Structures are given as structure tokens and as C-alpha cells.
Copies of this chain bind each other. A is one copy, B any other.
Amino acid sequence: MLSRLLLATTNRGKIRELVRLFEGSGVELLLPERELDVEEKGGSFFENAYLKAKAYYEAFRMPTLGEDSGLVVPALEGYPGIYSSRFYSLEWGGVEPLEGSRDRANIRKLLRLMEGLQDRKAYFLTCAVVCLDNAGLWAEGRCYGEVLREPRGEGGFGYDPIFQPEGYTKSMAELRPEEKDLLSHRGKAIRRLLELLKMLK
């Protein structure tokens, strides 16, 4: 089995969760010494995850893990979707001033666009791609739920404070990290990826 994977990201929220999810797996995660400027020009989560994994693979020449995640709101034509992390700055839906963190600006914009909307269904999606060389693995995970009317909780990151998973009465940000990992899109994708990784010599 593969013993080391370089994370093709410098996003602290993601790194924290990925480190948790790989704990005890036998796969050691490495962080890049510098951030690469990978243009997320892909038209899908899958493509963006691949572009990141590939770019870090080309630069560091070792097996890499790229992931792309986001929140999909069908009532908003799928937005924020692949634009989740920079939703606030998109023309679509009107640019939201960057006061406070990006996370907060993104959340403000999403709540504004969903004001009065009854259909609040949404899902988080993670697509993870491992690049071994000119080949690799991929996995995706989803977490269904709905968009709350105001933020709740301090845990997690991104849209977690306004997302309530199906069957729960807490927001994603109110869950303990171990609870979030069990049901989250990222948790599901990484566990499946690890199953496949463990079969590789």
C-alpha cells in the first residue's frame, strides 16, 4: 500500500479534516512547502480536483491528493457549486463586499439570495483525486441536507454554520468533529478512497 500522500491544498480547514480522516490509516500526509497557483478552471468538482492533484504531482513528483468540495443548491441552479470558496466575488447573484472572512461573505451572499425561498434543499459534495503517476484513484462523497436561515455553531468551516444535514437538528458547525466526519461529504469520499488505496501494493 501507498505510505505517503502529498496534499494538493493549503486550505487550513480542509487540511485539518483530511489529517483527522487519514489518522490511523497507515498513510502519512505531507503538506507542500509552498502553495501552487492552480487555476481552478475546470467546469466540475472532478476536474478541479484532478487539476490540483496533477499540478502538485508535476511540481513535487510524488503521489498527491487533490480535492474539490462545495455546496450545491438546486434552487439556485446549482450555485455556489464549484464557485463555493469565492462565491462572494462572483458577478452572479451580485458581488458581496468582503467584510470579515471569505467564509462570512460567502454565507451572507447565499442567505441573501435564498431569502424567502421555501425550497432550501442542498448538498455538500467532495471529489477527491489521487494522482500516482499517469494514473490514480478517485472518489466522491455527498452529504444531503438543507440551508438554514441563519448561521449556527462555531465548528467546521465554509458553509457549515448554515447547513443542516438530513435527519439532524444541529448545523454542521454545531457537530463535534468526529460527528461531522462520520456523515460529511469529505468523510465519505476519503473513507472510500482509503478502501481503494489499501488494495494497492
Task: List A residues at the B interface (Cβ < 8 Å).
Answer: 41-44, 46-47, 50, 129, 133-142, 188-189, 192-193, 195-196, 199-201
Bound Cα distance from A43 to B196, whole angstroms: 27
**For the complex formed by this chain, how many copies does it contain in all?**
2
Q: A137-B135, A140-B135 are in contact. Are A43 and B43 (CB under 8 A)?
A: yes
Residues in B with CB closer than 8 Å to A141 are 134
Bound Cα distance from A129 to B137, whole angstroms: 9
> What's the least CB distance linking A125 to chain B, in Å?
10
Q: Are A137 and B138 closer than 8 Å at their CB atoms? A: yes
Q: Are A193 and B47 closer than 8 Å at their CB atoms? A: no
> What's the least CB distance linking A121 to chain B, in Å?
20
Residues in B with CB closer than 8 Å to A42 are 43-44, 47
Residues in B with CB closer than 8 Å to A133 are 192
Bound Cα distance from A50 to B136, whole angstroms: 13
Q: Are B199 and A135 closer than 8 Å at their CB atoms? A: no
> What's the least CB distance linking A81 to chain B, in Å?
15
Q: Are A135 and B193 closer than 8 Å at their CB atoms? A: yes
Q: Are A138 and B135 closer than 8 Å at their CB atoms? A: yes
Bound Cα distance from A41 to B46, whole angstroms: 13
Q: A44-B42, A199-B199 are in contact. Are A137 and B139 (CB under 8 A)?
A: no
Residues in B with CB closer than 8 Å to A138 are 50, 129, 135-138
Residues in B with CB closer than 8 Å to A129 are 138
26 contacts between A and B (CB under 8 A): A42-B43, A42-B44, A43-B43, A43-B47, A44-B47, A46-B46, A50-B138, A133-B192, A134-B141, A134-B142, A134-B188, A134-B189, A134-B192, A135-B138, A135-B139, A135-B189, A135-B192, A135-B196, A136-B137, A136-B138, A136-B139, A137-B137, A137-B138, A199-B199, A199-B200, A199-B201
